[in-house]
Structure 1
């Protein structure tokens, strides 16, 4: 890692925090309307649809499995960097172990029931909650064969291209010292741990590249075009490429609207969630307007909100996020602490080695 100025470090920290919190806000905005049609959303909340949090899972501002898995992705990446300093370096393995820890939170009552290398994140009791987890994520990470990670040669759920690959992939794009091609490849290799269809894992790779571009100070448009160029080198890219091109066409088609969002799909599959999130981020006047556009549609509102919010947060940083939505966001303190730990590890890893850091991020 080259030496960064203080201003560069502060900018990076703001973008990491913004990406994580922005995605979570989008998730929470969509959580209460995830399975509703646009017609029913408008009937219940008015012509503009929802304009703030709708209670879900017992409170306003609740997040879903999308944010849960994103946090464990970041945890896995931190541990991978700790491992590297010890002479071991295979990030997909560390991310796989992190996802196994997430899967346990879906069945255990809490951290007191568990043994092993939970680390700091695994001891956060609020994460022990089922929030409509995707079946491909669960089936890929549970059962007698769960310890065997999926690979590109032998992926888990080879027919699945659900949006569970995309909604958790933003953290790969925060590896700003990496080259875009390596970020894309890592996102792909971590997607096949649960989703093996090319459209699923290539959509995750494309999303990571777009996040990576804006986290490095580029524009969303530059990120999308780089993602398209990267996709063109990979077999099976056609559905993802077509979806992203439709998103770009929608930007040029006229005034943004929920109806235009619905022309891109419903977001249940990876390429549609990516296209909707990218479109809403591209046409957003500000973060809140983009997020509300991303969730007010008939479909997987929380996942499209995550994609849009992650992009806008990485683009503008944490100070651009709506303060009234931040204040009610479930788990905000955990997210801020994890984001700051990620920044510390990437910028100052060797200085952190010691018992306290090893307890937070133990390695096998």
Structure 2
């Protein structure tokens, strides 16, 4: 692996967030459809652009909503750590942000002292119900009922449930924006996911994605970033399913042409280890970023989540300009993503804003 930059590249960071939103919006109308139905409606290679189904053409789902709340909370946590000279508040601030998002889903829970999400709460597309996962909703309801929003109820050491759904990994890319080492990004990805997903296959894939994004934003190639992340996965309790799924994805990528039929042998993407494996397989395929994201969503499973994760990876590697202009212009939350990416780049760069 070449020597990596100390700080994330702003264009790649924007690409990571925007690519995730694009993959989410591209895959949302396909979620749960069989491959035969997808091809009958959209052609052999899946949709060539956004289609007006489910939430509307270019509309994002809870995947992008929670990714953006994750990014915002981590920016605030970093600024707090600089101002106070102490860290450790990020998991609690993440839970506060997620509870703020939960109110936007129309969920009612006891009033409590919490402020999270900042200007994101003014973005209607981020505060409306867009297919939230049951594990995420259930875990956050439990946290809300306890009335200690700043103290994570679900942790790696004390799991909140036994869920290994993909709802933890699909929001974890921003955990790779900051930090001085990939190991710290991996740990933060796991901590962020464990707030709602307690099975190792629910939070370890989030660590993998965070570590990959960390390396990609600093100049790594996809394969090198993946190997770095797999190295941090080794030795983690309960890593078997995630390690095996990634090994299958890498092996499959080297065995022949990348096709939806081959991709589907990795599963449906409903669980964390399947989702990261599908996204990695598509990201390793030949072709441009647009073709690879199309591959990531063209299967009979959780297409928006696998598309979002693949978009995160490819955007972090190639930057926002790698995606078709029509997709960049047509994704629902483009301006909010650009504003948030600028905040993240400033906070994670060499000259973070003055917090006084």
Length-normalised TM-score, structure 2: 0.91
Alignment of 1:56 onto 2:53: yes
For 1:343 and 1:76, how far apart are their aligned partners in 2?
14
Aligned to 1:229: 231
| Match in the other structure for 1:153 | 157
Task: State which of 169, 173, 180 in structure 1 corresponds to 2:172.
Answer: 169
- Does the aligned pair in 2 maintain the 1:33–1:54 contact within 8 Å? no
What is residue 22 of structure 1 aligned with on the other side? 19
Deviation at 1:186, TM superposition (A): 1.0
**Cα distance in 1, alignment partners of residues 294 and 106 from structure 2:** 32
Matched, 1:125 2:124: yes
Counterpart CA distance in 2 for 1:58 and 1:136 is: 21
Whole-angstrom CA distance in 2 between matches of 1:115 and 1:81: 18
SS in 2 for 1:164: coil
Match of residue 137 from structure 1: 136
Shift of 1:348: 6.1
Q: Deviations over 1:28-53 (max 9, x none)?
A: 00011112111111122222322211
- The CA deviation string for residues 189-243 of structure 1, in whole angstroms up to 9 with x for no partner, is 1111000001111111011111111111111111111222211121110100000
Q: Give the CA deviation at 1:153.
A: 2.2
Counterpart of 2:283 (choices 269, 281, 284) is: 281
| Equivalent residues of 1:85, 1:350 under 8 A apart | no
Distance 1:57 1:262, change over 3 A: closer
Aligned to 1:89: 87
Label 1:168 to 1:351 Cα distance change in 2 as closer, same or farther (>3 A): closer
Q: Report how far residue 284 of structure 1 moved.
A: 3.7
Offset at 1:278? 0.5
Q: 1:116: how far off?
A: 4.3
Distance in 2 of aligned mates of 1:70 and 1:352: 25
Match of 2:62 among 59, 62, 65: 65
* CA shift for structure 1 position 327: 1.2
Structure 1 length as normaliser, TM-score? Answer: 0.89
CA distance in 1, matches of 2:259, 2:249: 13
Mind listing any 5+ residue stretches in structure 2 that lack a counterpart? none
Which deviates more from structure 2 when the two are superposed, residues 39-48 or residues 247-256? 39-48
Shift in Å at residue 262 of structure 1? Answer: 0.3
Number of equivalenced pairs: 342
Distance 1:346 1:249 in 2: 35
**Within-5 A mapping of 1:1-364:** 12-87=9-84, 88-90=86-88, 91-107=90-106, 116=115, 118-143=117-142, 144-145=145-146, 147=149, 148-149=151-152, 150-157=154-161, 159-175=162-178, 177-347=179-349, 351-353=353-355
Contact 1:15 1:316 in 2 (8 A): yes
Shift of 1:268: 0.2
Q: Distance in 2 between matches of 1:273 and 1:116?
A: 31
Distance 1:24 1:117, change over 3 A: closer
Cα distance change of structure 1 residues 116 and 169 upon mapping to structure 2, 3 Å threshold: closer
SS in 2 for 1:51: coil
Q: Is the 8 A contact 1:25 1:309 kept in 2?
A: yes
Shift of 1:126: 2.6
How far apart are the structure 1 equivalents of 2:280 and 2:227?
12
Q: CA deviation at 1:152?
A: 1.9
Verify the 8 A CA contact 1:56 1:62 in the aligned structure 2.
no
Tell me the distance in 2 between the aligned counterparts of 1:261 and 1:94: 36
- Please give the alpha-carbon distance, in whole angstroms, between the structure 2 residues aligned to 1:328 and 1:36: 23
Equivalents in 2 of 1:256, 1:216: separation in Å? 27
| 1:310 Cα offset (Å) | 0.4
